[in-house]
Chains A and B, each alone.
Chain A
Amino acid sequence: MAYDDPASGAVSERALARLQAEFGGHPDVSLIDLGYQREEGRLTRSPVLRVHVRDRWLAAEPEDRIAFPAEVEGIPVEVTRGEYELE
């Protein structure tokens, strides 16, 4: 799947809403958004649902971490570090 605008598209919006409803309130999750996949470090136009997690999720043992789905409605889910702070 490739698209030009991650903010549009009924499927991606629905998938984002589902993921936010299920995990958006978890204390280890700082953000959930719809962005673009990277290939070899470069941004592509392929959509990806991103779960931004706090450091404590990354530091926890795998068996102690909350698990996220690999995809929602055909859109892959990526877990990424997200300790956002005022700059």
Chain B
Amino acid sequence: MPDLDSTALTAAHRAVQEAAMQYLVNPRVSLVDFGYRIRDQEGFRVTEEQCLRIHLRDKPRGEQLESLEAQRPELYLREDELRGLTARYGFPVDLPLGDYRLSRAVGAYAPVAAPPRRDRALDPMLGGISVGNAWIPGAGTLGGKVVDRRGTPLLLSNWHVLSGRWWIGAGAPVCQPGRLDGGSTGDVVAHLARDAWRSGLDAAVATLTAGSRRLVNDQLGLGPVTGSATPAPLMRVTKSGRTTSVTWGIVTSILPGRMFTYPDGYPRAVRDIWVIEPELELDRVSGSGDSGSFWLDADSRRAVGLHFAGERVPSRALALGMPAVLEALDVQIAVT
């Protein structure tokens, strides 16, 4: 491969990083890399053209492709997005056919217990797993367990995870997992109680359904939350989320507020936003579906933020200050 100068190499690296974050969640995509264009319809002939390559497990054509676009748009690689990658980084995009599998292991290995799936129904429920409104397609993260003044346990996440539409108010069903992960009205575990929009915060709590599954103070892969604290610049933090699992970051700045457009089409002003980014630039802190995760102080395991938004490349997370969230909802972290 001809040498790339350092600028082109950096651009190639960023292009791969962005495409990986954007497309590896798509089950049709098996690999993202940078290399020569592969003509898979010409006996997988390799050309000399350097491309950003998004390898696909299948390549439907004609009516099959049209059917995929119409019926499973989330699996369809949109041309305008691919053109955007080319425009941003200056490399063409290739979509070669490739379904890669692990090589068969040689020898015997002791079986290792698989961790619980975040996108499956779990009992007991804990922070870091899929949750959503049972009426709306989608999924976010169950942040964790909180209690009100009477000691009643509630489930805390973002408003846009548990509702997201102005017409979906108190009493709306919440399912675990969220509908994007196969949840349905048969998986209803809670009902929306109240939100924190009066305080400009994208947060809400839901009351657990009597006789349904239990909710415990635990974060999948991290352990229990020990309380709450105010975030601070340079604080090292960690979260457990539905999409990117356990990640680590550093609080780098606070923003007074910003407008976001919500799924119901209405812009809303959000305040008390903290920026979290990875210590190493190419690491990832969050992804779509992580909304609602608790950001914990990595040392004390106290909850300092409620994740709600982010940027993929470079990876940055936006979280609401947890003390403000708890005060607005009149709840506290359930530490028992």
What separation, in Å, do the CA atoms of A23 and B260 have in the docked complex?
18
- In the complex, besides A41-B281, A41-B282, 13 extra interface pairs with C-beta distance below 8 angstroms are A5-B233, A7-B254, A31-B258, A38-B281, A42-B280, A43-B279, A55-B84, A82-B311, A85-B288, A86-B291, A87-B140, A87-B287, A87-B310
Contact of B75 with A by CB under 8 A: no
Interface positions of A (Cβ within 8 A of B): 4-7, 30-31, 33-36, 38, 41-43, 45, 50, 52, 55, 58-59, 80-87
What separation, in Å, do the CA atoms of A55 and B275 have in the docked complex?
19
What separation, in Å, do the CA atoms of A59 and B87 have in the docked complex?
6
What separation, in Å, do the CA atoms of A34 and B234 have in the docked complex?
12
Contact A85 B309 (CB under 8 A): yes
Contact of B289 with A by CB under 8 A: yes
What separation, in Å, do the CA atoms of A45 and B279 have in the docked complex?
11
Contact A87 B286 (CB under 8 A): yes
Which residues does chain A contribute within 8 Å of B260, judged by CB atoms? 84, 86
Contact B309 A36 (CB under 8 A): no
For the side of the interface on B, what is the size category? 35 or more
Q: What 1/0 mask marks residues of chain B from 293 to 332 whose CB sits below 8 Å from any chain A CB?
A: 0000000000000011111111011100000000000000
Interface positions of B (Cβ within 8 A of A): 84, 87-88, 140, 158, 160, 202, 232-234, 243, 250, 252-255, 258, 260, 262-263, 275, 277, 279-282, 286-291, 307-314, 316-318
Which residues does chain B contribute within 8 Å of A58, judged by CB atoms? 88
Contact B234 A42 (CB under 8 A): no
Contact B282 A81 (CB under 8 A): no
Given contacts A41-B281, A43-B279, contact A84 B309 (CB under 8 A): yes
